């Protein structure tokens, strides 16, 4: 069994030893004002009910709207940021992320470097497995039911009547396990939050269709091109084994969003599938579609395929939910096997979804001062599967999404078969760096 020493980010002020001091104690329940039965009874939180259903000939559809160039200040945006700023004023964050130095690294791709020493200094050592993408939920370890109610911003649910509604002081329906949006107390950027689907079901960090659809709804509802959601599987630098997505605002394009792509197929509902070109991490891009549900079904099927084959991966949701990047990776396993250069290990950068997307969160002043496109590329190339392994994984994914549950345009099948069998693609000298090491995926 592979294990690797890790210092995962503390995402909650309650993610510490039980005998530690906790802020904002209350006199009721356990004294921590937590989300467990001892404190949650009769508690109330704001509730944002998003528009989910439209009727078309008696059929329920989930419509996907495009991002606007200059989005208006949407209510979800203002609610999220207003509540987030309130928690800033209450002193619930472990550091002021707005004080972190940030710069765009010169070069073709425009990687973004941030010096975030707070995430390095405000951590505690732990140990977790990196050789199993699917692991059972463990109640005795930290999970999001242990956070304080003051860290939760609002509940996020589908509207019962198909119209957007907001209730500033709504009861918590424990029996129906609501979705919560909470702060990340060690933020990477402004407005950094956690979306926790069906929190009281205590689901492990395992992608499913319903949860991905919820995340797509949040991206679409925000309607802001600078608001993205990310997902890290276990083995791909998820640090909490309780189902959650992360999200934040970055007022510039991610480098991965600007990378060229090659179309592979048109799938059910008008969803287009492509693969990244000339980018240090190989991955797939799913975009468009007539309904959010079409996009969710296809991407979640691909994620479930990776999970079932024990392949770690990261997901980035961009363009207001219209575009999803799926990125299988192997950095943690290479690290555990001693196959990563010591100089890269010294940076203590864990390349999860944000780093892979091009937002390099650096923990040492030296690395920030010396940040270059070549250095960013070198690190991310270690994350990527080799070309050969990527095409093997690609074949697994297309087999999963064409298995019968999800239809695919038959006219594209020959093209997909040719691509997945030949393993041929155009990529730059940079991308060739990622071919140097095969990823070991333990089954």
Of 290 and 58, which is predicted with more confidence? Answer: 290
What confidence tens digit (pLDDT) does each residue in 192-205 have?
999 999 999 999 99
> What confidence score (pLDDT) does residue 119 get?
59
Looking at 2-16, 40-54, 216-230, 330-344, which range is the least confident one? 2-16
Full-model pTM: 0.86
If you write DSSP's letter for every residue of 70-119 in order, what string do you get? S----HHHHHHHHHHHHHHHTT-SSS-GGGSEEEEPSSSS--EEEE-HHH
- The region, left, alpha or beta by phi > 0 then psi within -120 to 50, assigned to residue 21 is beta
For the ranges 21-25, 133-137, 290-294, 368-372, the lowest mean pLDDT is seen at: 21-25
Over residues 318-346, the pLDDT tens digits come to 999 999 999 999 998 898 889 999 999 99
Q: Give the largest Cα separation in the chain, rounded.
A: 66
Question: In the CATH hierarchy, which fold is given to the domain comprising 43-68+76-435?
Answer: HIT family, subunit A (3.30.428)
Per-residue pLDDT band for 442 (boundaries 50, 70, 90) equals very low
Domain spans, the chain: 43-68+76-435
Span 138-146, average pLDDT: 92
| Alpha helices (runs of H) in 208-247, residue ranges in sequence order | 209-222
Query: How many whole angstroms separate alpha carbon 174 and alpha carbon 33?
Result: 16
pLDDT for the residue 403: 78
Residue 217 among the catalytic residues? no
Query: Cα separation of 255 and 375, whole Å?
Result: 15
Nearest 5°: CA angle at 196, between 195 and 198? 135
First vs last Cα of the chain: how many Å apart? 11
In this prediction, residue 289 has a pLDDT band, given cuts at 50, 70 and 90, of confident
Higher pLDDT, 311 or 425: 311
CB atoms within 10 A of CB 54: 12
Place of tokens 């791709």: 109
Report percent pLDDT > 90 for the chain: 65
| pLDDT value at residue 29 | 65
Q: Which of 192, 217, 242, 244 is catalytic?
A: 244
């Amino acid at each position: 069994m592979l294990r690797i020493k890790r210092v995962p980010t503390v995402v909650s002020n309650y993610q510490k030893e039980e005998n530690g001091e906790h802020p904002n104690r209350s006199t009721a329940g356990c004294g921590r004002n937590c989300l467990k039965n001892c404190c949650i009874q009769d508690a109330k939180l704001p509730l944002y009910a998003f528009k989910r259903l439209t009727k078309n000939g008696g059929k329920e559809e989930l419509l996907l709207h495009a991002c606007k160039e200059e989005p208006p200040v949407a209510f979800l945006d203002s609610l999220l940021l207003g509540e987030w700023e309130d928690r800033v004023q209450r002193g619930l964050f472990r550091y002021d992320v707005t004080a972190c130095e940030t710069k765009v690294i010169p070069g073709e791709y425009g990687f973004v470097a941030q010096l975030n020493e707070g995430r390095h200094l405000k951590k505690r050592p732990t140990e977790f497995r990196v050789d199993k993408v699917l692991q059972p939920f463990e109640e005795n370890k930290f999970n999001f039911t242990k956070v304080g109610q003051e860290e939760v911003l609002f509940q996020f649910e589908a509207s019962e009547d198909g119209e957007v509604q907001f209730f500033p002081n709504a009861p918590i329906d424990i029996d129906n396990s609501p979705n919560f949006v909470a702060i990340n107390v060690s933020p990477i950027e402004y407005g950094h939050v956690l979306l926790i689907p069906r929190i009281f079901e205590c689901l492990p960090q395992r992608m499913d269709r319903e949860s991905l659809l919820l995340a797509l709804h949040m991206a679409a509802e925000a309607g802001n091109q600078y608001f993205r959601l990310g997902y890290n599987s276990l083995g791909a630098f998820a640090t909490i084994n309780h189902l959650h997505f992360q999200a934040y605002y970055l007022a510039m394009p991610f480098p991965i969003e600007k990378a060229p792509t090659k179309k592979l197929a048109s799938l059910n509902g008008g969803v287009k599938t492509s693969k990244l070109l000339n980018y240090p991490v190989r991955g797939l891009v799913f975009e468009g579609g007539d309904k959010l549900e079409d996009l969710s079904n296809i991407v979640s099927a691909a994620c479930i395929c990776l999970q079932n084959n024990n392949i770690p991966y990261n997901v980035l949701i961009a363009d207001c939910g219209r575009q999803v990047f799926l990125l299988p990776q192997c950095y943690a396993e290479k690290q555990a096997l001693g196959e990563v250069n010591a100089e890269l290990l010294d940076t203590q950068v864990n390349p999860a979804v944000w780093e892979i997307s091009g937002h390099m969160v650096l923990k040492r002043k030296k690395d920030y001062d010396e940040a270059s496109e070549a250095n960013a590329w070198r690190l991310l190339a270690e994350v990527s599967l080799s070309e050969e392994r990527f095409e093997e994984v690609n074949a697994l994914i297309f087999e999963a999404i064409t298995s019968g549950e999800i239809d695919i345009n038959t006219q594209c099948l020959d093209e997909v078969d040719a691509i997945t069998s030949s393993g041929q693609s155009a990529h730059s000298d940079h991308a060739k760096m990622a071919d140097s090491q095969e990823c070991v995926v333990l089954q």
